[in-house]
Amino acid sequence: MTRWKWVSAGCRGTSHVRTNMRMQDAHTCAAVLGSKEIFISVISDGAGSATFGGQGASLACRTISQEVIRHVRSVGSLPSDFQIEDWVDRARDRILATALRRSASPRDFASTLLVSISDGTQTIIAHIGDGCTVLRDKVTAEWVAPSWPAHGEYASTTHFLTDEPAVVLRITRYLAPVDALASFTDGLERLALDFVGSKPFAPFFMSISRSIFELPRPGRDPALSKQLALYLDSEAINQRTDDDKTLIIASL
C-alpha cells in the first residue's frame, strides 16, 4: 500500500506580532487507513475583523477533522457531498453554541474553511472563502488548482463559515490520480498562485515539495516541519506578506 508523508506548519504574521494578537490560522492533518490510506487536511483562517476569529478557526478545524476521521475509520472510503454538507452544518452549530455561551454573535467567530481529502486516485476539496489547495497530477506532473480562492466584492473580503442565511460551500472532486497536494491560507496566495494565469505558481511548489518526496518514512516529519515553520517566518517571506501563514504539503 502506498502511504502519505507530509509536513505542516503555521506562523503568526508580522501584523499580528506588532499588535500582540494571537494567530488567526488553524490547521490539522492526518492519514487514516481505509481501502487505501486517505490523507485529510483541514485549514481555517479566522477573519481579521472578527473578535474571536482564531477561536472560530480552531473550532472549525477540530469539528470537521473529527468528523472526517471518524467517517474514514468506520467506512474506509471518501465521503459523499451530502456528508460534507452535514459536517459543515455541525461546525456551524458548534460555533453558534459557543457564541451563545459567550453572549456573542456567530459573526464574531467568522473563519474560512478548506478541507482536502485524498486517497491518491480521487481528491475532494470542500472550500469556503479564500486559501487554496493545489494538486500535482500524477500523469502530467502539472500542478493544478481545482478550487480557486473566493474573494468578495471589495478588497480583502471573502466568504465565511458563519455567513447567513446560507454558507457558500464549494465541493470539488478531482478524479485523476495525484501524487502530491499542498494547502495554504490566504497569507501565501500571492507567493503560491499566478493570479494573471489563474493557476498555481509551479516553481514555488516544485522547490518546496522536493524534500517531502525524498522523506524515507510515512507520516508527518517533525524536523522538516520545523524547517518549514522557519521558512514561513523568514525575512524573505515576511517582506511579501504580513498576514498569518499556514502551509501543508503532502506526497504519496
Residue 82's domain is classified under what CATH number?
3.60.40.10
Backbone angles phi, psi at 139, to 5 degrees: -80, -50
CA 38 to chain centre: 16
Task: State CA 96 to chain mean position distance.
Answer: 22
CA distance 51 to 30: 29
As for how many domains the chain has, the answer is 1
Question: Is 60 exceeded by the pLDDT of residue 155?
Answer: no
Q: For residue 82, which amino acid is it?
A: F
C-alpha cell of residue 96? 453558534
Candidates 86, 175, 88, 71; CA nearest to 127 is 88
pLDDT > 70? residue 223: yes
Model confidence at 244: pLDDT above 60: yes
- Residue 22 burial class via C-beta count within 10 angstroms: exposed 0-12, middle 13-18, buried 19 and up: exposed
DSSP state of 182: E
Does the pLDDT at position 193 exceed 90? yes
Edge-to-edge strands, sheet with 132-137: 143-147, 132-137, 178-184, 245-251, 5-11, 219-220
Tell me which residue of 43, 88, 48, 39 sits closest to 243, measured CA to CA. Answer: 48
| Cα dihedral 173/140/245/155 (nearest 10) | -70
Question: What percent of the chain clears pLDDT 70, i.e. is strictly above it?
Answer: 98
Which has more confidence, 48 or 119?
Answer: 119
The predicted pLDDT at position 188 comes to 96
How distant, in Å, are the alpha carbons of 50, 182, 189 from that of 109? Answer: 6, 26, 22
Q: Please, what is the average pLDDT of the chain? A: 95
Residue ranges making up the domain that contains 172: 5-251
